[in-house]
Amino acid sequence: MILFISDLHLHPSRPAITELFHGFAAGPAGSAEALYILGDLFDHWAGDDDCAEPANAKVCTALRRLGERGTAVYFMSGNRDLLVDRGFAAASGATLIDEPQVVDIAGSDTLLLHGDILCTDDTEYQRYRATVRDPLFRQSFLAKPLTERKAFIGGLRERSESEKRTKAAEIMDVNADAIAAAFRRHGVARMIHGHTHRQARHVHTVDGRPCERWVLGDWRDDVGNYLECMSGGWSFRSWHGKA
């Protein structure tokens, strides 16, 4: 059994979701061969020196214990936790994977993404994405004190939430041409991503080939969402804190 999650946005201000995650780690994830986290596990990540923050440390411990029990944990950064690096990997035992990543899942090459790179209609966001992922920006930002970094990220989040209220929903969703281009570029027939919070399975035809795209759901106070791959097939599952 292989599981996929994204967009939990864990933060001390959202204790119900954090509790759901720890139950999930002790429950379904503990029985899995592998767990793939495709970005935005955290609501924000100011740098690996924030691993010591109690809530973050507890998440790292839960992931490390998963690995010790035999579940391989793979972590891909999202737009909110793009500063996750080797310090987090050491604390959590997770294997960091780059975006995009092609992985053999159940005998088929599968493209894994966080998903924001597919939202090409939102040109303003794509310019921001390119800036914050630039190595020079990253180096300069991480040289600042942790408190300053957190304050800066907090301001970005407030501005982002304000801007979302004025943007059309279609602009913030994935672009059909970008999806087709990704299938072509990587030569795969299956894609899994998060970011949009629009859980669904989509079927595409790309150059005459049938392709499938699984979009992971976000986590809410009362329910967690994950994608499960078993020998019998693929399915979305919900986690309410109990098996």
CATH number at residue 225: 3.60.21.10
Class of residue 168 by CB neighbours under 10 A (exposed 0-12, middle 13-18, buried 19+): exposed
Query: Measuring CA to CA, how many Å separate 76 from each of 73, 83, 96, 101, 140?
Result: 10, 11, 6, 9, 22
Query: Measuring CA to CA, how many Å separate 44 from each of 109, 121, 145, 154, 192?
Result: 30, 24, 16, 9, 22
Whole-angstrom Cα distance, residue 239 to residue 189? 28
pTM score above 0.85 = yes
Domain that holds residue 62: 2-239
Q: Where is 29: in which H helix or E strand?
A: none
Would you call 17 helix, strand, or coil by DSSP? Answer: helix
Taking each helix axis from N to C end, the angle separating 135-142 and 123-132, rounded to the nearest 10 degrees, works out to 60
pLDDT in tens, 21-58: 999 999 999 999 999 999 999 999 999 999 999 999 99
Per the listing, tokens 């092609």 go with: 102
Give the strand pairing for 2-5 and 108-112: unpaired
Q: Where is 62: in which H helix or E strand?
A: helix 54-68
Per the listing, tokens 């909110």 go with: 80
Whole-angstrom Cα distance, residue 13 to residue 18? 9
Number of domains in the chain: 1
Q: pLDDT tens string for the chain (243 positions)?
A: 999 999 999 999 899 999 999 999 999 999 999 999 999 999 999 999 999 999 999 999 999 999 999 999 999 999 999 999 999 999 999 999 999 999 999 899 999 999 999 999 999 889 999 999 999 999 999 999 999 999 998 888 777 766 666 666 666 789 999 999 999 999 999 999 999 999 999 999 999 999 999 999 999 988 999 999 998 799 999 999 876
| DSSP codes of every residue in 117-158 | GG-TT-HHHHHHHHHHTSHHHHHHHHTS-HHHHHHHHHHHHH
